[in-house]
Amino acid sequence: MANPENVYLGQCNCGAVKFEFTGAPVASGYCHCVECRTARESDTFDFIAWQPAQQRITNGNDKVRTHSHTSSMTVSFCSECGSGLFHTNVLGVHSTSRSLFRHSHDGKVPQGLEPQLHIFYGERVMDVADDLPKFKDLPEPFGGTGELLA
């Protein structure tokens, strides 16, 4: 899934909302924090994170609804189909499910968005057996302790 221009196109399930971000993601991995898990009702959140300045909503801006999930996180979703679009956390970073990008990239996650790490592994509800680094909270450049649990 080559993507030489580093433009990543994402959309909700019904296609009413389309967005893109350009450039390398801030991070790509799995988040185990309780906020993401409860926002998604899943054991991990398969996130791609980028800065808001990298993002452009190309279709259906009027369909984007946002609610406060917790005091430090908002969740945006499509008002037509209910798909989760992205979370905005206390750092102001947007993150979304990696799989939202498959719609525009031949049904696959595009090159450049491969998962690199696990974050908030200290809050996990299950162990994951893979070779990615597992940070107890966040790497130091993102304001965490940088402590690795595996």
Binding site for Zn ion (CB under 5 A): 12, 14, 16, 31, 33, 36, 78, 80-81
Nearer of residues 3 and 9 to Zn ion, judged by Cβ = 9
Contact 104, 54 (CB under 8 A): no
Q: Which residues have CB under 8 Å from 112's CB, separation 6+?
A: 3, 6, 8, 24, 25
In single-letter form, the type of residue at position 112 comes to G
Question: Whole-number minimum distance, CB 1 to Zn ion, in Å?
Answer: 23
Euclidean distance between CA atoms 16 and 63, whole angstroms: 7
β-strand partners of 95: 49, 87
Question: Whole-number minimum distance, CB 2 to Zn ion, in Å?
Answer: 27
Nearer of residues 81 and 148 to Zn ion, judged by Cβ = 81
Nearer of residues 3 and 57 to Zn ion, judged by Cβ = 57
Nearer of residues 17 and 109 to Zn ion, judged by Cβ = 17
Question: Whole-number minimum distance, CB 76 to Zn ion, in Å?
Answer: 11
